[in-house]
Amino acid sequence: MERVVKTGSGWRLGWNPQATGYQGLVGGEDWAIELTEAELEDFCRLLGQLAQTMSQMADELMDEEKISCEADSDLLWMEVDGYPHAYTLRFILNTGRRCEGSWLAQAVPGLVAAAQSLKVF
Where b means 16+ CB within 10 Å and e means fewer, 81-98 reads bbbbeebbbebebbeeee
Give CA–CA dist 68/91, Å, rounded. 13
pTM assigned to the model: 0.92
Give me the pLDDT at residue 32, please.
95
Give me the pLDDT at residue 119, please.
62
Give me the pLDDT at residue 101, please.
96
Give me the pLDDT at residue 79, please.
98
Q: Could you give all domains of the chain from N- to C-terminal order, each with its CATH number?
A: 4-117 (2.30.31.10)
Q: What is the pLDDT along the chain (121 residues), one digit of tens a residue?
A: 688 999 999 999 999 999 998 999 999 999 999 999 999 999 999 999 999 999 998 888 887 889 999 999 999 999 999 999 999 999 999 988 889 999 999 999 999 999 998 864 4
Task: Point out which residues pair with 107 in neighbouring strands.
Answer: none
Give me the pLDDT at residue 1, please.
64
